[in-house]
């Protein structure tokens, strides 16, 4: 029941009349509709409907359920219309770029992030995925102003990272009323209720906030209990996500079994506003002055963190010193948090809410005739970088502080999906040396292409406003901050370095591999840079339960004459593993190891290898069968020593 014509479909969406309110309620923005009408012949004729058949069943169902625009509950868009709507919404009058983007997206080379697909070309085109805020002020006014910001952002489909390091601890003196503070827990319950109440984009998904706290805060033990299933209700806030912003000094004290002092930010100000040596000096001087609330063994807090992770999967672990010392935004001030999915690391302040627009490259598409095509990856990444810049300019910002930040620093986030699929297509086991090499090379190409595009834009428009003083302005790329030298010999970094120092770049940050949960489902790829979690699983959808098999494995087993209903049941019985099935050849077993069968050390090593080309961070999930404190400890410390910014997302 959809119309074939793109312009006709957009007309229907534009002319939507709300029968209950008895008024026009267009679903397409006026300016975009005019552009479509003016160029309808070329736009209509550029659409290739056969590309709709490239989606698998779940990809189609995902689009149908959440993405394709509906009128009175009935879907009116086709997937091809969605790609064209998004392309025109991003590029407006630049029809040539819009058609180029349409072709790349509809051929599934890359995709923009969910909020961009939801909202591009609509009357309020909020196309950004991530927002980062810091608590405006430790006062009723500051807290409720921040609460209002989070509600407005959540309403327009943004995920939120919020740092609360500056909120005074329980029992602190409050000057105005001569009373004492209740600390962070009752406050977080208010944020919890807001997250539940304000859902994203008309019930598409619940509001989601990640709360960041540094481990010196006196309320940290209560903070770690917030998601637990038992205990007093009034001390719980289970709909928020929690993250620790960990300084090196804490890790060192845990390692040395030293003491750790907890402070109230009101009594020991400024700890969140510095990092590295400066933080260490301030912290130890406060300790010496006896300003601490309480001194404990560092390991007591460490084990409380691990207990919480074993029970609830959180808090996320992020390393404040790595995040700051290896950031191209370090000239702005100390970065206080990451975002909801731990891949965005951007500066926030009272008048700046950091924002990030995302897109992900579909890596399996670049496997052409048994080889990985880096030139094609370069070309698509280059175009995606141009697109993300257009989104910054054409975006609707839910709060003014977000626009301030995005226009000043222009950060963007390019990620990947289907790394595991690309390895399988190239017949490379995930832990093989060749896979490790390709992992590095892919991210070098993405970083080089996006940096080149950003430099070309700066030649045209001048550099972003706060470029001066940044590491890039001094010719320092991300890999220089890691003390790594690219060795693929594929790209001319020295020539680019000269150009960047001379003309600048248009974006402060470029690469941020995000989880890609929904978009990889649309394109039929495995998530981001993760290995497969299982080779077989059941998907519950509205119409029933489906058994889904890893499509590459299915093809291989059919080719080997090993695929039977019995084989399917044996894989299900082994929880999606094929390692103990005798008939399956060893090289197939190597190729289809699940994440539970891959050494986490290798996962962390590959994360660090690609980290040298990732100027933001990465949503790194770690998987442990039967976790215990010693396994977790060695894993966290290994990630910290490798210099990762994000030690653990889930």
Q: What is the CATH number of the domain that holds 210?
A: 3.20.70.20
134 with 99, same domain: the answer is no
The span from the CA of 151 to the CA of 344, in Å, is 20
From 194-203, 236-245, 633-642, the region with the lowest mean pLDDT: 194-203
The span from the CA of 34 to the CA of 11, in Å, is 10
101 with 166, same domain: the answer is no
287 with 173, same domain: the answer is yes
Nearest to 219 by CA among 197, 207, 237: 237
Q: Can you give the pLDDT at residue 200?
A: 58
pLDDT band at 588 (very low <50, low <70, confident <90, very high): very high
Per the structure, the complete domain to which residue 34 belongs is given by 1-107
Nearest to 319 by CA among 586, 631, 618, 624: 618
pLDDT band at 174 (very low <50, low <70, confident <90, very high): confident
Distances (CA, A) of 214 to 246, 255, 439: 6, 18, 32
Tell me whether residue 219 is in a domain: yes
State which of 291, 325, 359 marks the end of a domain. 325
Which regions of 209-273 does DSSP assign to beta strands (E)?
Answer: 209-213, 241-246, 259-262
Catalytic status, residue 339: yes
State which of 542, 573, 593 marks the end of a domain. 593
pLDDT band at 517 (very low <50, low <70, confident <90, very high): confident
Of the candidates 339, 406, 439, 550, the residue annotated as catalytic is 339
Tell me whether residue 258 is in a domain: yes
| Average pLDDT, integer, range 364-377 | 98
Angle (CA) 645-647-649 rounded to 5° is: 110
Q: Is the pLDDT of residue 154 over 80?
A: yes
Q: Can you give the pLDDT at residue 541?
A: 63
134 with 92, same domain: the answer is no
Q: Please give the torsion angle defined by the CA atoms of residues 264, 269, 270 and 275, in that order, rounded to the nearest 10 degrees.
A: -40
Region of residue 550 (left: phi > 0; alpha: psi -120 to 50; beta: else): beta
144 with 228, same domain: the answer is yes
Q: Is the pLDDT of residue 532 over 70?
A: yes
139 with 100, same domain: the answer is no
93 with 144, same domain: the answer is no
Residue 14 corresponds to which tokens in the numbers above?
Answer: 């534009």
Q: Say how many Å lie between the first and final Cα of the chain, rounded.
A: 42
Tell me whether residue 94 is in a domain: yes
Question: What single-letter DSSP state applies at residue 531?
Answer: P
199 with 315, same domain: the answer is yes
pLDDT digits (tens, 9 = 90+) for 118-137: 999 999 999 999 999 999 99
Strand pairing report for 367-368 and 371-372: antiparallel
Mean pLDDT of the chain: 95
pLDDT band at 419 (very low <50, low <70, confident <90, very high): very high
180 φ, ψ to 5°? -125, 155
From 68-72, 99-103, 386-390, 464-468, the region with the lowest mean pLDDT: 68-72
Distances (CA, A) of 642 to 84, 90, 230, 254, 648: 43, 38, 36, 17, 13
156 with 237, same domain: the answer is yes
Tell me whether residue 79 is in a domain: yes
Catalytic status, residue 343: yes
Is residue 76 within 8 Å of 2, Cβ to Cβ? yes
From 9-23, 91-105, 244-258, 426-440, the region with the lowest mean pLDDT: 9-23
171 with 318, same domain: the answer is yes
Is residue 160 within 8 Å of 242, Cβ to Cβ? no
Which residue in this structure is represented by tokens 């950003």?
454
State which of 593, 610, 635 marks the end of a domain. 593
From 234-238, 436-440, 629-633, the region with the lowest mean pLDDT: 234-238
Which residue in this structure is represented by tokens 């290798």?
602
Q: Can you give the pLDDT at residue 542?
A: 62
Q: Is the pLDDT of residue 205 over 90?
A: no
Catalytic status, residue 341: yes
Tell me whether residue 190 is in a domain: yes
Q: Calculate the CA 271 to chain-centre distance.
A: 27
Is residue 24 within 8 Å of 71, Cβ to Cβ? no
pLDDT band at 198 (very low <50, low <70, confident <90, very high): confident
In the chain, what percentage of residues exceed pLDDT 70?
98
Tell me whether residue 259 is in a domain: yes
152 with 210, same domain: the answer is yes
The span from the CA of 620 to the CA of 626, in Å, is 19
Q: Can you give the pLDDT at residue 156?
A: 79
Q: How many domains does the chain have?
A: 3
The span from the CA of 144 to the CA of 32, in Å, is 36
Residue 609 corresponds to which tokens in the numbers above?
Answer: 């290898």
pLDDT band at 178 (very low <50, low <70, confident <90, very high): confident
pLDDT digits (tens, 9 = 90+) for 536-549: 988 776 667 778 89
Tell me whether residue 447 is in a domain: no
* Angle between helix 433-461 and helix 374-394 axes, rounded to 10 deg: 40
Q: Is the pLDDT of residue 313 over 80?
A: yes
The span from the CA of 201 to the CA of 398, in Å, is 13
Of the candidates 214, 222, 343, 444, the residue annotated as catalytic is 343
Q: Is the pLDDT of residue 206 over 90?
A: no
Nearest to 110 by CA among 520, 498, 386: 520
Residue 632 corresponds to which tokens in the numbers above?
Answer: 């977790």
Q: Is the pLDDT of residue 605 over 90?
A: yes
Q: Can you give the pLDDT at residue 364?
A: 98
Q: Judging by beta carbons within 10 Å of its beta carbon (0-12, 13-18, 19+), is residue 232 exposed, middle or buried?
A: exposed
Q: Can you give the pLDDT at residue 204?
A: 58
| Average pLDDT, integer, range 569-595 | 96
39 with 148, same domain: the answer is no
Of the candidates 130, 264, 341, 356, the residue annotated as catalytic is 341
Tell me whether residue 257 is in a domain: yes
């Amino acid at each position: 029941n959809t119309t074939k014509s793109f312009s006709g479909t957009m007309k229907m969406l534009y002319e939507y009349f709300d029968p209950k309110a008895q008024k026009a309620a267009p679903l397409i923005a006026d300016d975009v509709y005019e552009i479509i009408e003016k160029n309808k012949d070329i736009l209509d004729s550029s659409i290739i409907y056969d590309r709709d058949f490239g989606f698998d069943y779940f990809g189609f169902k995902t689009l149908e359920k959440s993405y394709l625009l509906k009128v009175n509950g009935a879907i009116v868009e086709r997937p091809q219309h969605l790609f064209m709507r998004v392309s025109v919404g991003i590029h407006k009058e630049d029809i040539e770029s819009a058609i180029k983007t349409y072709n790349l997206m509809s051929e599934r080379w890359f995709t923009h992030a969910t909020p961009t697909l939801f909202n591009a070309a609509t009357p309020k085109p909020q196309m950004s995925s991530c927002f980062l805020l810091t608590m405006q002020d430790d006062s009723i006014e500051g807290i409720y102003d921040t609460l209002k910001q989070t509600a407005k952002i959540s309403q327009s489909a943004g995920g939120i990272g919020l740092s609360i390091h500056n909120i005074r601890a329980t029992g602190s003196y409050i000057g105005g009323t001569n009373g004492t503070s209740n600390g962070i827990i009752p406050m977080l319950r208010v944020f919890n209720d807001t997250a539940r109440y304000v859902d994203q984009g008309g019930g598409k998904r619940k509001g989601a906030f990640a709360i960041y706290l540094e481990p010196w805060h006196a309320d940290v033990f209560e903070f770690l209990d917030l998601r637990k299933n038992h205990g007093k209700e009034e001390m719980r806030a289970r709909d928020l996500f929690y993250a620790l912003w960990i300084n090196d000094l804490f890790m060192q004290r845990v390692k040395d079994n030293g003491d750790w002092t907890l402070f109230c930010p009101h009594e020991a100000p400024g700890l969140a506003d510095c990092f590295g040596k400066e933080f260490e000096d301030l912290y130890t001087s406060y300790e010496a002055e006896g300003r601490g609330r309480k001194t404990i063994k560092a390991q007591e807090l460490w084990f409380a963190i691990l207990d919480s992770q074993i029970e609830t999967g959180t808090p996320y672990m992020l390393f404040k010193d790595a995040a700051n010392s290896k950031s191209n935004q370090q000239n702005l001030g100390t970065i206080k948090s990451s975002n909801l999915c731990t891949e965005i690391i951007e500066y926030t302040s009272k008048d700046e809410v950091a924002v990030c627009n995302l897109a992900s490259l579909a890596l399996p598409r670049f496997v052409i005739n048994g080889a990985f095509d880096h030139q094609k990856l370069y070309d698509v990444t280059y175009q995606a970088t141009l697109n993300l810049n257009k989104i910054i300019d054409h975006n609707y910002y839910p709060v003014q502080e977000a626009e301030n930040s995005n226009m000043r620093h222009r950060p963007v986030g390019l990620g990947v999906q289907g790394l595991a699929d690309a390895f399988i297509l190239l017949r490379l086991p995930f832990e093989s040396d060749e896979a490790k090499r390709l992992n590095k090379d892919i991210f070098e190409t993405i970083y080089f292409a996006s940096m080149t595009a950003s430099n070309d834009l700066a030649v045209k428009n001048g550099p972003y406003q706060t470029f001066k003083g940044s590491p890039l302005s001094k010719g320092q790329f991300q890999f220089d901050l890691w003390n790594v030298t690219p060795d693929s010999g594929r790209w001319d970094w020295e020539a680019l370095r000269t150009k960047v120092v001379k003309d600048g770049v248009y974006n402060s940050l470029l690469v941020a591999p995000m989880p890609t949960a929904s978009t990889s489902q649309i394109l039929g790829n495995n998530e981001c840079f993760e290995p497969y979690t299982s080779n077989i699983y059941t998907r519950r959808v509205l119409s029933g339960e489906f058994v889904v098999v890893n499509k590459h494995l299915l093809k291989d087993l059919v080719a080997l004459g090993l695929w039977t209903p019995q084989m399917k049941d044996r894989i299900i019985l082994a929880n999606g593993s094929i390692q103990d099935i005798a008939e399956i050849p060893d090289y197939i077993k190597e190729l289809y190891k699940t994440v539970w069968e891959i050494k986490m050390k290798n996962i962390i090593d590959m994360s660090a290898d690609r980290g040298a080309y990732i100027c933001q961070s990465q949503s790194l999930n770690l998987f442990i069968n039967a976790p215990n404190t010693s396994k977790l400890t060695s894993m966290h410390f290994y990630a910290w020593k490798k210099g990762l910014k994000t030690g653990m997302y889930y």
